[in-house]
Structure 1
Amino acid sequence: MSDVSVVGTGPNGLAAALVMARAGLSVRVFETEPTVGGGSRTKELLEPGHRYDVCSAVHPMALASPFFRRFGLADRIRLTVPEISYAHPLDGGDAGLAYRDLDRTVQGLGDDGGAFDALMRPLVRRSEAITDLLMSPLFRAYRQPVAGALFGRAALEQGTRLWNRRFSGARAPALLTGVAAHPVGRMPSLPSAGGGLLLSLLAHTVGWPIPVGGSQAIADAMADDVQAHGGEVVTGRRIASLDEVADSRAVILDVSPSVLLQLGGDRLVPRYARALERFRYGNAACKVDFILSGPVPWANGGVRQAGTVHVGGRREELAAAEAQVAAGRHPEKPYVLLSQPSSFDPSRAPAGRHILWTYCHVPAGSTVDMTEAVTAQIERFAPGFRDVVVRSQVTTAADLARYNENYVGGDFGGGAVTLAQMLIRPVLSAKPWRTSVPGVYLSSASTPPGPGVHGMGGLHAAELALKDVFGLPVPDLAPA
């Protein structure tokens, strides 16, 4: 018996577990897989010594998330922060380069530099306030009125057909569209613009860090803290019903609404269960991981220095590709998000080798192998890429769904990122982490603030559980 049971060891589940353990409660964490991590696992790829990230690879929120700031993640693990956060190659050897230094970024955008600066600098100046605003419960938005107004104005521009009004060239719009395409969905839209602008301002402030050793380092640091404060982590144990953890005073679930329906069964209030059934999942990803005999031979030298690369051409091409996915089709020229972490962390591959992490967007449930389409898109901007490919491994959307039952249809974001589901995630409530079962809370990416490795869903769920069940405040989370 324990005070708290946590089901699922993604970053949100582990965040909730360590908050509860640090509050002095007895905590038991359950994970189906042999290792912790959820969306932040790192495994060996095809050959010994080649370590790839199963889901997330680059972590813009690692230094910016209010939870990770309080937890002191940067003091617990090694993070390497590339000088160029992300790049967007264009045809003819051209490219947009998003340096951490906003001034340097602006200088590289030619005639659009001033317009890009006017859009981003007000946000960058209020980076921490905007991040806190977007990561906080909706009812706390009043605490950052200026930041909210500035961010909202920028999102209204970049999330509507006004998105080209200030630009004349291709580089600046491509940079903004590449980050806005991280959530799967049509563009322009307010949700994609909001996510893209947040990622952009982090690129020019804290940067986009890559954990040394892989994303597993984040999960391991969190699990270590749970255990250091008396918590127990049980791997290889699947929880199939809330009855299995009924002896705990509080239960926190890092699961999708569909899994919550299975776990809760008749214990869920019918009205709440119907709301969960209405929750919409988004389209999906097809992931292609490569072992390379050398670095990607990008035509533009600056792209080679970027930690993340968005591939797909001009803004209009990316919007067209995402519209095809939204219509249930597989783009011939998909949007591809990729990272070559071995360029910044040699421990990820043997000498003379590199690993390349990529994925593209596809319709939900897709069984299509997109390896050739992804390869062709990279070859388009990196002539000779095929010559350095040693081996590749594909994970289709259907494979992702089988790997993790929370990735419904291959949707690794925990639900469609739409305007409606920014407010209803997964139900319309001022405190959506609280389920209809007393003492049971939801902490996954299907709750605010949504997808990403930030731990905030776990923090919000734990904060409610501490108050409702135990009458305790959130404890200090800093390293000893």
Structure 2
Amino acid sequence: MPDVVVVGSGPNGLAAAVILAKAGLSVEVYEAENTAGGGSRTAELTLPGFRHDVCAGAHPMAFASPFFRAFDLAAHGVELLAPQVSYAHPLDGGTAGVAWRDLERTADGLGRDGDAWRALFGPLVRDWETVVDLAMSDLRRVPKGLLTATRFGLRTLEQGTPLWNTRFDEEPAAALLTGVATHAITPPRAVPAAGAGLLLGTLAHAGGWVLPKGGSQAIPDALITELEQLGGRVHVGKRVDALGQFDDVRAVVLDTAPAELIRLAGNRLPDRYVQRLRRFRYGGAACKVDFALSGPVPWQAEHLELAGTLHLIGTRDEAMTAERAVAAGQHAERPYVLAIQPGVVDPTRAPEGKHTFYTYAHVPNGSTRDISADVIAQVERFAPGFRELILAKNVYTAAELPSHNANYIGGDISAGAMTLRQFAFRPTPRWNPYATPLSGVYLCSASTPPGPGVHGMSGVHAAGHVLRQRFGIDADPLELVRAG
């Protein structure tokens, strides 16, 4: 038997596996799906030759995560392509807010709000590594760079409270920031959403929202190659039915949602802990719609053809109305749609002259509704003629997403609602959120700090506890990764 078993092959599970293997332990990973990668898989979902990202598409954290900086994706053959425009937010009438990688160019394009945008993001962009280290911590230690942490905290409070309308005078800047905050699938005027928006907005100007050449699958593939070179193994198509399968293993690390921990543990967990896990809330969900297109999207507004990611909802008020509907368990009349057009930097995703187009729309948890017609309408709103380009589409409703990734309970791609309580206490209020009451069993999924995103840091934090508590190895996990 190996020293460690990791259940789930998403980026967090693979990050933990690589670190533990670098510490000299024997590691095996078990994945229920036939392809490893979790939320970072790529597949031909529509037509042959059209490669679509199954969940995560744009990757700000692939550039910025402390784990990926230590691992060095480029050195492992992953080419990260950065669009000139990190993200954009079209408005009716052919105008748009445009977040260029260049902060100054972004500010220059925001008219009267340019100085306000520069003042909001300038200090954060200058010290982006400290911002990332704060956001990607386990939230159980004093942050580095207290001045930057204070700046980030004050800006988060501003944008997460009724003060959010005091900074900007015009709609493009306000909508531009709101669109990125709405990634949290919660009403954007909330502290967790504001924090996510400021972090992602900072990274848009620091290094860009990169797309891996060939698809997101390149990231887990690189981690798996490294793990195998260290002697580890990945078993795909192997669903784990019970923790009892690994009673002889010294440590089990679960890249799973709390609901899956309950299933795997059976009656082994203390009742009180199970009750706490059952109180863990799953949030708003996504209906994923992928398109094969005969040509590029005909955006009305200038520069949108250069954007890797777009937020399609309209004004700040429209975004708030749509997300409040989802939070109340209702379908928005005009849903928030996140769109990614990989072809702006990566022609390998589709046959020559053709394009893939990635979208998901926010819907209530557990929704069985195919809302692809609403998605097409939102794209058409800002790109008339889009409908005529569609060669094929693939739809995963929110209710169908868990059949492709068991962590997406009810279609919640964040693996847990981003409430203020669950921002710090994921999945339960414990000083060590990664350890469970079962000796040697740990969680490392996005249901633990620092939460959702392709960053690997939940795996890093969990691996550190495993090394110290189960094997007596007092080593910095990131230094193990850097060691080669």
TM-score by structure 2 length? 0.98
Larger mean Cα displacement after TM superposition, 469-478 or 370-379: 469-478
Larger mean Cα displacement after TM superposition, 421-430 or 288-297: 421-430
Aligned residue in 2 for 1:210? 211
Contact 1:343 1:354 in 2 (8 A): no
- Measure, in 2, the Cα distance between the counterparts of 1:450 and 1:144: 21
Amino acid at match of 2:420: L
Amino acid at match of 2:67: F
- Measure, in 2, the Cα distance between the counterparts of 1:136 and 1:343: 33
Measured after TM superposition, the shift of residue 359 of structure 1 is: 0.4
- Measure, in 1, the Cα distance between the counterparts of 2:225 and 2:188: 40
- Deviation digits for residues 11-31 of structure 1, max 9, x if unmatched? 000000000111110111101
Report matched runs for 1:62-77 at 5 Å.
62-76=62-76, 77=78
Report matched runs for 1:178-193 at 5 Å.
178-193=179-194
Segments of 5+ residues of structure 1 without an aligned counterpart are: none
Contact 2:83 2:344 in 1 (8 A): no
Contact 1:106 1:113 in 2 (8 A): yes
Contact 2:2 2:26 in 1 (8 A): yes
Aligned residue in 2 for 1:117? 118
1:30 is the counterpart of 2:34: no
- Measure, in 1, the Cα distance between the counterparts of 2:131 and 2:80: 23
Contact 2:139 2:450 in 1 (8 A): no
Secondary structure of 1:301 counterpart: coil
Aligned residue in 2 for 1:420? 421
- Deviation digits for residues 422-466 of structure 1, max 9, x if unmatched? 122001122100111111110000000000000000000000000
Amino acid at match of 2:293: L
Aligned residue in 1 for 2:12? 12
- Measure, in 2, the Cα distance between the counterparts of 1:272 and 1:224: 36
- Deviation digits for residues 308-354 of structure 1, max 9, x if unmatched? 01111111111111111111111121111001112311111001211
1:289 is the counterpart of 2:293: no
Amino acid at match of 1:11: P
Secondary structure of 2:88 counterpart: strand
Amino acid at match of 1:298: W
Amino acid at match of 2:395: V
Measured after TM superposition, the shift of residue 45 of structure 1 is: 2.1
Measured after TM superposition, the shift of residue 146 of structure 1 is: 1.2
Secondary structure of 1:152 counterpart: helix
Contact 2:140 2:431 in 1 (8 A): yes
Measured after TM superposition, the shift of residue 47 of structure 1 is: 1.4
Amino acid at match of 1:157: E
- Measure, in 1, the Cα distance between the counterparts of 2:468 and 2:404: 35
Contact 1:72 1:479 in 2 (8 A): no
Contact 2:46 2:291 in 1 (8 A): no
Contact 1:17 1:27 in 2 (8 A): yes
Contact 2:35 2:236 in 1 (8 A): yes
Secondary structure of 1:63 counterpart: helix
Give 2:481's match in structure 1, choosing from 467, 477, 480.
477
Contact 1:7 1:239 in 2 (8 A): yes
Larger mean Cα displacement after TM superposition, 11-20 or 141-150: 141-150
- Measure, in 2, the Cα distance between the counterparts of 1:3 and 1:36: 21
Alignment identity in percent?
A: 55
- Measure, in 2, the Cα distance between the counterparts of 1:173 and 1:434: 41
Report matched runs for 1:225-240 at 5 Å.
225-240=226-241
Secondary structure of 1:318 counterpart: helix
Measured after TM superposition, the shift of residue 83 of structure 1 is: 1.1
Aligned residue in 1 for 2:58? 58
Measured after TM superposition, the shift of residue 269 of structure 1 is: 2.1
- Measure, in 1, the Cα distance between the counterparts of 2:245 and 2:90: 51
Contact 1:11 1:40 in 2 (8 A): yes
- Measure, in 1, the Cα distance between the counterparts of 2:3 and 2:345: 42
Measured after TM superposition, the shift of residue 479 of structure 1 is: 7.8
Secondary structure of 1:275 counterpart: helix
Aligned residue in 1 for 2:376? 375
Contact 1:138 1:430 in 2 (8 A): no
Which ranges of 4 or more aligned residues in structure 1 deviate by more than 4 Å? none
Aligned residue in 2 for 1:268? 269
Aligned residue in 1 for 2:349? 348
Contact 1:10 1:254 in 2 (8 A): yes
Secondary structure of 1:437 counterpart: coil
Secondary structure of 2:206 counterpart: coil
Contact 1:133 1:141 in 2 (8 A): no
Aligned residue in 1 for 2:39? 39
- Measure, in 1, the Cα distance between the counterparts of 2:35 and 2:229: 18
- Measure, in 2, the Cα distance between the counterparts of 1:133 and 1:187: 21
Amino acid at match of 2:73: L
Report matched runs for 1:242-391 at 5 Å.
242-391=243-392
Aligned residue in 2 for 1:429? 430
Measured after TM superposition, the shift of residue 145 of structure 1 is: 1.6
Measured after TM superposition, the shift of residue 412 of structure 1 is: 1.1
Aligned residue in 2 for 1:400? 401
Larger mean Cα displacement after TM superposition, 421-430 or 307-316: 421-430
Aligned residue in 1 for 2:149? 148
- Measure, in 1, the Cα distance between the counterparts of 2:483 and 2:290: 35
Secondary structure of 1:398 counterpart: coil
Contact 2:100 2:205 in 1 (8 A): yes
- Measure, in 1, the Cα distance between the counterparts of 2:31 and 2:403: 16
- Deviation digits for residues 24-75 of structure 1, max 9, x if unmatched? 1011110111111000000012211111000001000001101111111232
Contact 2:46 2:290 in 1 (8 A): no
Segments of 5+ residues of structure 2 without an aligned counterpart are: none
